């Protein structure tokens, strides 16, 4: 995709944008801003192609639209169709089902589709942004390798553990939400055929006392869509008091409370205890998934919200601003919306970065808060988490 030459700043030079973080948020922002004629460079700290957490994603409307508008192959072509939602009781019988067609995709597929659309020469891997300074005219960015770069706009799309956010907002730190997700993927060919058939075309839920288990089919690890080569993605959410979390994920309490921990491998000891509990608390199909998954992962759920997203010529977006509970399936679509709206505001402000960011913040802050509250409300209804209930208002 080539830069649109029509958009330039007030000096008729393309607006120079640096994005810190080359995952979903960074790539969507990069593509959206290139489309309006900005000169965009992305710096991603990880040296290799990003590897998924092995997890799936529910395709949301915003992502679908983004793919369509940017000429990226449609999400249906790289995802698996789930025809209905089915809710199980503990004995495994279906207590509610509803036709809700949804496309399920693996994180890797989304990432690779976006990554392929962004030019390699502008995507710098293995280099990290370690600091910045800004004045009225520009932002000076310091990189880990000692280089300095200058830009008109710095977008911080660095995830919840963002160092730049810590520099901007000392008090905005992720907080442990009081529960975890055990998650895993398993090849469909490994399952007993009747279980695979029962789960294959559906988004399956079990809502138990203070817990939830879900499962859906996603493409194979190399994007395969053929029957027999796809994978089931499952998650089991349950409460874990903060005192018990360090043992579960092998970190001390201070780390648990102060830092965002994306996920950890489950130890043998914990795995054994949990097998016993799975037998007691889960319907047989979920026990089956759990038992056959060799290396489940454990992901503590954190909350994060910021009071501001715009700071002169610097902005926070995606998970770096709002870390949303997973029940909303909105983490990626929120990042996409942040990106699209930013491009729109920059165009409307004719390249006046500070004005554009101010207007952008006015819509994106309420959006982030809305999805955050929605996530907390959904998890509270399931008896998960230690958060107070909120009253939900539409933005």
Residue 147 or residue 273: which is nearer to ligand FAD going by CB?
Answer: 147
> Which residues form the interface with ligand FAD (CB under 6 A)?
20-26, 43-46, 50-53, 55, 57, 107, 128-129, 157-159, 163, 318-320, 331-332, 335
In whole angstroms, the minimum distance from the beta carbon of 92 to ligand FAD comes to: 27
In whole angstroms, the minimum distance from the beta carbon of 334 to ligand FAD comes to: 7
Residue 130 or residue 240: which is nearer to ligand FAD going by CB?
Answer: 130
Residue 195 or residue 314: which is nearer to ligand FAD going by CB?
Answer: 314
Task: State how far the Cα of 79 lies from the Cα of 179, in Å rounded to an integer.
Answer: 29
State which H helix or E strand residue 253 sits in. helix 253-258
* φ and ψ of 65, to 5 deg: -65, -45
CA-based nearest residue to 54, from 251, 235, 247, 320 = 235
Which residue minimizes CB distance to ligand FAD?
A: 318
Task: State how far the Cα of 107 lies from the Cα of 88, in Å rounded to an integer.
Answer: 26
Q: Answer for the pair 304, 160: CB distance below 8 angstroms, yes or no.
A: yes
In whole angstroms, the minimum distance from the beta carbon of 139 to ligand FAD comes to: 14
In whole angstroms, the minimum distance from the beta carbon of 193 to ligand FAD comes to: 27
Residue 47 or residue 388: which is nearer to ligand FAD going by CB?
Answer: 47
Residue 142 or residue 358: which is nearer to ligand FAD going by CB?
Answer: 142
In whole angstroms, the minimum distance from the beta carbon of 233 to ligand FAD comes to: 9
Strand partners, 44: 125
Residue 102: alpha-carbon gap to chain centroid:
18
Q: Any idea what DSSP says for residue 13? A: S
Task: State how far the Cα of 369 lies from the Cα of 305, in Å rounded to an integer.
Answer: 7
* Alpha carbon separation from 21 to 55, 67, 276 (Å, rounded): 20, 20, 40
* φ and ψ of 80, to 5 deg: -115, 135
Residue 178 or residue 318: which is nearer to ligand FAD going by CB?
Answer: 318
In whole angstroms, the minimum distance from the beta carbon of 284 to ligand FAD comes to: 26
| Three-state secondary-structure class, residue 284 | helix
In whole angstroms, the minimum distance from the beta carbon of 331 to ligand FAD comes to: 4
In whole angstroms, the minimum distance from the beta carbon of 235 to ligand FAD comes to: 10
Residue 154 or residue 249: which is nearer to ligand FAD going by CB?
Answer: 154
* φ and ψ of 237, to 5 deg: -95, 135
Task: State how far the Cα of 167 lies from the Cα of 2, in Å rounded to an integer.
Answer: 34
Q: Answer for the pair 156, 316: CB distance below 8 angstroms, yes or no.
A: yes
Residue 45 or residue 337: which is nearer to ligand FAD going by CB?
Answer: 45
């Amino acid at each position: 995709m080539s830069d649109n030459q029509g958009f330039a700043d007030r000096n008729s030079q393309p607006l120079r944008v640096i994005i810190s973080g080359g995952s979903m948020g960074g790539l969507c922002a990069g593509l959206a801003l290139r489309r309006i004629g900005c000169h965009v460079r992305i710096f991603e700290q990880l040296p290799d192609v990003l590897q998924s957490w092995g997890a799936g994603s529910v395709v949301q409307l915003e992502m679908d639209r983004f793919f369509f508008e940017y000429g990226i192959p449609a999400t249906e072509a790289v995802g698996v169709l789930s025809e209905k939602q089915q809710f199980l009781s503990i004995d495994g019988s279906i207590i509610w089902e509803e036709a809700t067609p949804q496309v399920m995709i693996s994180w890797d597929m989304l990432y690779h589709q976006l990554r392929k659309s962004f030019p390699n020469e502008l995507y710098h891997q293995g280099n990290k942004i370690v600091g910045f300074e800004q004045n009225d005219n520009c932002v000076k960015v310091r990189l880990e390798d000692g280089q300095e770069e200058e830009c008109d706009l710095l977008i911080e799309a660095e995830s919840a553990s963002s160092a730049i956010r810590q520099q901007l907002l000392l008090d905005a730190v992720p907080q442990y939400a009081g529960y975890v997700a055990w998650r895993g993927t398993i090849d469909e060919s490994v399952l007993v055929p009747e279980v695979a058939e029962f789960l294959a075309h559906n988004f399956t839920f079990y809502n138990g006392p203070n817990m939830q288990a879900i499962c859906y089919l996603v493409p194979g690890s190399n994007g395969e869509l053929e029957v027999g080569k796809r994978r089931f993605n499952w998650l089991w959410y349950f409460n874990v008091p903060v005192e018990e979390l360090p043992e579960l994920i092998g970190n001390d309490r201070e780390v648990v409370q102060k830092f965002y921990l994306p996920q950890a491998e489950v130890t043998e000891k914990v795995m054994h205890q949990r097998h016993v509990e799975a037998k007691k608390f889960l319907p047989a199909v979920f026990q089956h998934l759990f038992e056959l998954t060799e290396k489940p992962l454990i992901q503590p759920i954190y909350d994060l919200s910021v009071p501001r997203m715009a700071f002169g010529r610097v902005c926070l977006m995606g998970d770096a601003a709002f870390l949303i509970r997973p029940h909303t399936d909105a983490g990626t679509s929120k990042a996409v919306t942040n990106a699209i709206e930013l491009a729109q505001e920059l165009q409307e402000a004719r390249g006046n970065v500070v004005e554009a960011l101010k207007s952008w913040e006015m819509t994106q802050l309420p959006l982030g808060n809305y999805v955050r509250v929605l996530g907390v409300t959904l998890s509270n209804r399931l008896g998960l988490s230690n958060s107070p209930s909120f009253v939900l208002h539409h933005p």
